[in-house]
Chain A
């Protein structure tokens, strides 16, 4: 399951974007569900995120996220109607339960819980896209201009994780050959065995860190001001994607402030979309969210467009 989660180069449109462009698009996918509570917007953003994940060959990664995110989403769906008795449309009455007592379950509270669960899934989807579409080093590279020490530390540590994982499994195999059985024993004994591994790994990797430091010093680490070299071309597609992400953000903030993207849950569910301006803002926000995906589709199908953007 875990192997689907991390970045792998798949040659997709989103992966070909400049890190700042993809980050702004993912920020839009993350922030919109955070400040909108309108069910229509939330469903559409979730669907747009899913479309992005499936066209970017990140479906397996998204499913791995879903296995983690489903439980909190269900919890949100169930907890709200149990805890809140607001709303006029009573569906049924619950017999008295321990801790929370008797409850009336209303349609409005159930809908609110469902919307909160959907909001959680939409946020999770944005992060699933981040994990599968953005190379960690490209983001730290972007940050290295402002915060080079932290960026260096993060990329060093991230680089060492796969190495240490390999060393861990090697050390485990050596221990197994010597007769240590990791599958048996009670919790304390098992923990003791894993503890040996941890200590072994610590001692060997600390020695390794001294060598890393010497290699860094040999390459003049800390001897003066740093120069930076980045090869991240900014192309037309990056401008298009970041502009549409910004447009989606501004349009939805404006619609929220002016009340076009509000939805009343209590005391009774309101109308889904009010009038022409409501539909206008909804379609404008959705169009700007979908625009990068449409461009990506064209980029994949149409070599001429690919050469131009």
Chain B
């Protein structure tokens, strides 16, 4: 479609312009950005979150897809609640990853993000909510990319991917705490803060690994079968 091609050019132009704008701002206003870099970083992260939601808003989506994403997000949220007492053990990452792997990056992102938002209505919203939404969403989106380019991933590779996300999620979540509250921020204070969270990150990664090894293949099979059924009757 000609409109689609023009649309793509406009989007690419906008992306190039934004990047150029950011680079120019970084070049000329560097002292200002460095002084307020915490605010700048947080706004970049929030902009990324908003962009993912805009993308979802612009996509054509069927009632079935909405239903499946909603139920998977609710499941990701509910699975958090019985484990809330165990620090760091978060099945949400695992559910976002398997749904992204089967249903694609966008669905994975929405499962992670909406799961974080919805569960926090019950576990408590906080300054952590947008960051949890973004990073769990990214776990799902990256699994979607993995499922698209390497559909036949081996079990071991997927297990490694899950474990890595366990660590990565904790480290990314630490960023917001470190950036806003710890001053002076230098390597020793940075390492002290990350060291304080390291046991929790290990729990999270280990929990992810165990969940994947015990359940991953079965749940992926269930989801794949459901995707087939959904698309078949949806024709």
> Could you list which residues of chain A lie within 8 angstroms of chain B, going by C-beta atoms?
2, 5-7, 34, 64-65, 68, 72, 75-76, 79-80, 83-84, 86, 99-100, 112, 116, 119-120, 123-124, 127-128, 130-131, 136, 147-150, 152-154, 156-158, 160-161, 163-165, 168, 187-188, 191-192, 194-195, 198-199, 201-203, 205-206, 208-210, 212-214, 216-217, 221-222
Chain A residues near B230 (CB-CB < 8 A): 210
Name the residue in A136, A152, A191, A209 with the highest tally of chain B Cβ atoms < 10 Å from its Cβ: A209
Of residues 179 through 233 on chain B, the ones whose CB sits less than 8 Å from some CB of chain A are 180-184, 186, 188-189, 191-193, 196, 207, 210-211, 214-215, 218-219, 222-223, 226, 230, 233
Q: How far is the CA of A156 from the CA of B70 in the complex (A)?
A: 6
A130 touches B78 (CB 8 A): no
B123 touches A5 (CB 8 A): yes
Chain B residues near A160 (CB-CB < 8 A): 70-71, 74
Q: How far is the CA of A112 from the CA of B124 in the complex (A)?
A: 27
Q: List 25 A-B contacts (CB under 8 A).
A: A65-B124, A79-B182, A79-B189, A83-B184, A130-B125, A136-B121, A147-B53, A156-B67, A157-B73, A158-B121, A160-B71, A161-B77, A161-B78, A161-B118, A164-B78, A165-B81, A191-B207, A195-B215, A198-B91, A202-B222, A206-B68, A208-B71, A210-B230, A210-B233, A212-B71
Of residues 114 through 172 on chain B, the ones whose CB sits less than 8 Å from some CB of chain A are 114-115, 117-119, 121-127
Can you list, as one digit per residue, whether each of B23-59 has a CB less than 8 Å from chain A (1) or not (0)? 0000000000000000000000000000001101100
Q: How far is the CB of B88 from chain A (nearest CB, A)?
A: 13
Name the residue in A123, A131, A221 with the highest tally of chain B Cβ atoms < 10 Å from its Cβ: A131
Chain A residues near B123 (CB-CB < 8 A): 2, 5
B192 touches A79 (CB 8 A): yes
Q: How far is the CA of A239 from the CA of B166 in the complex (A)?
A: 46
Which partner residue on chain A sits nearest B184 by CB separation?
A84
Q: How far is the CB of A213 from chain B (nearest CB, A)?
A: 4
Contacts known (A116-B183, A199-B219, A202-B219); A131 close to B71, Cβ less than 8 A: no
Chain A residues near B233 (CB-CB < 8 A): 210
SS of A interface (majority): helix
Partner of A205, one of B69, B71, B110, B124: B71
Chain B residues near A76 (CB-CB < 8 A): 181-182
Q: Does B63 contact A (CB under 8 A)?
A: yes
Which partner residue on chain A sits nearest B218 by CB separation?
A199
Contacts known (A161-B78, A199-B222, A206-B222); A153 close to B70, Cβ less than 8 A: yes
Contacts known (A154-B114, A194-B82); A75 close to B196, Cβ less than 8 A: yes
Chain B residues near A216 (CB-CB < 8 A): 63, 66-67
Name the residue in B62, B66, B114 with the highest tally of chain A Cβ atoms < 10 Å from its Cβ: B66
Chain A residues near B67 (CB-CB < 8 A): 156, 209-210, 212-213, 216
Which partner residue on chain A sits nearest B62 by CB separation?
A222
With A157-B71, A157-B115 given, name 12 new contacts (CB 8 A). A2-B122, A2-B123, A65-B126, A76-B181, A119-B181, A156-B67, A156-B70, A160-B70, A206-B71, A209-B64, A209-B68, A214-B63
> Could you list which residues of chain B lie within 8 angstroms of chain A, going by C-beta atoms?
53-54, 56-57, 61-64, 66-71, 73-75, 77-79, 81-82, 84, 91, 110, 114-115, 117-119, 121-127, 177, 180-184, 186, 188-189, 191-193, 196, 207, 210-211, 214-215, 218-219, 222-223, 226, 230, 233
Chain A residues near B81 (CB-CB < 8 A): 2, 165
Residue pairs across A and B with CB atoms within 8 Å: the count is 180
Partner of A127, one of B53, B82, B126: B126
Name the residue in A119, A148, A156 with the highest tally of chain B Cβ atoms < 10 Å from its Cβ: A156
Q: How far is the CA of A203 from the CA of B118 in the complex (A)?
A: 21
Q: How far is the CA of A83 from the CA of B181 in the complex (A)?
A: 13
B69 touches A153 (CB 8 A): yes
Chain B residues near A168 (CB-CB < 8 A): 78, 82
B118 touches A158 (CB 8 A): yes
Q: How far is the CA of A6 from the CA of B119 in the complex (A)?
A: 10
Q: How far is the CA of A195 from the CA of B215 in the complex (A)?
A: 7
Q: How far is the CA of A198 from the CA of B63 in the complex (A)?
A: 24
A6 touches B122 (CB 8 A): yes
A156 touches B66 (CB 8 A): yes
Which partner residue on chain B sits nearest A86 by CB separation?
B184
Chain A residues near B114 (CB-CB < 8 A): 153-154, 157
Name the residue in B74, B214, B215 with the highest tally of chain A Cβ atoms < 10 Å from its Cβ: B74
A99 touches B188 (CB 8 A): yes
A2 touches B63 (CB 8 A): no
Q: How far is the CB of A262 from chain B (nearest CB, A)?
A: 15
A191 touches B71 (CB 8 A): no
